Chain A
């Protein structure tokens, strides 16, 4: 049965997931059990490349980063749509090609808008 083969192949994935979960848990637990515990103020302070830490870590970042993140997500999704299109293009023919061209054109409008509005510039 092909279906049984499909699920039995995922046994390896499950083993990998279990190893991935077990590795940090086991190593951190063993580390906690083995290491000597001697905390003092200097040791507990935030590591900032060797100098004394100044200011707070939770500063507000500029909103321009957020637009870049959103653009990343949008074009990430565009790439996602390209994968099934690419493998089935042989059977779809011209209809599929035209559909994808229109789709990319629609998203290119968005890219052009953000270019026009100068959100891609850093200053």
Chain B
């Protein structure tokens, strides 16, 4: 086994364990911390795939930004009085199990069916290579991202202002 494979297994295990802990842990702050560690492990996987720029972005946006957003959401909500979700019925559990299982199988079929070329060139994931692809071939998708961000911003303002008025 090569060093890369060992690193992949370690990082994948950390990511899976932290993702499961997000569900298992009781305190919300512990869950947020576990999610941050999961994002860190996924950033490590990006570095392993030679996508250095994506890895740094993963740390910057997910570990730095989204975790702060979750902490803010925890600070904003009142979770002393509210208890955790009540026990669901057996039918609900069964239906959700089937839903998650079919989603997993669809994704597995998609991933296993992909025919990816084995890249051997070292600098496929630099910022320059990403920029040439993103603003050259995929410029429409890039502008679509802009519209998506605009929709997210306006939606957040509309919902949060409604909340503020109710308080």
Contact = CB atoms under 8 A, between A and B. Distances in A.
A and B from one assembly?
Answer: yes
Interface of A: 2-3, 5-7, 10, 13-14, 56, 58, 60-67, 69-74, 76-78, 80-81, 83-89, 91-92, 95-96, 99-100, 102-103, 106-107, 109-110, 113-114, 117, 119
Interface of B: 3-4, 7, 47, 50, 53, 57, 60-61, 64-66, 68-69, 72-73, 75-80, 120, 122-123, 127-128, 130-132, 134-136, 139, 142-143, 145-147, 149-150, 152-154, 156-157, 160-161, 163-164, 167
B83 to A, nearest CB: 15
B135 A65 contact: no
Q: Is the interface of A mostly helix, strand, loop or mixed?
A: helix
A114 B149 contact: no
Given A65-B72, A92-B135, A103-B142, A119 B149 contact: no
B76 to A, nearest CB: 5
A103 B120 CA distance: 33
A36 B73 CA distance: 39
Nearest to B47: A10
A62 to B, nearest CB: 7
Contacts of A56: 80
Contacts of B130: 84, 88
A3 B120 CA distance: 7
8 contacts: A5-B122, A63-B167, A64-B160, A66-B69, A66-B156, A78-B149, A91-B132, A95-B136
Given A67-B156, A103-B146, A6 B50 contact: yes
A67 B120 CA distance: 44
A37 B12 CA distance: 39
Contact of A88 (B80, B128, B161): B128
A81 to B, nearest CB: 7
A23 to B, nearest CB: 16
B147 A106 contact: yes
Given A84-B127, A95-B139, A107-B153, 17 more contacts: A3-B120, A60-B76, A62-B76, A73-B65, A73-B66, A74-B149, A80-B60, A81-B142, A84-B53, A85-B134, A88-B135, A96-B136, A100-B135, A106-B146, A106-B150, A110-B150, A119-B161
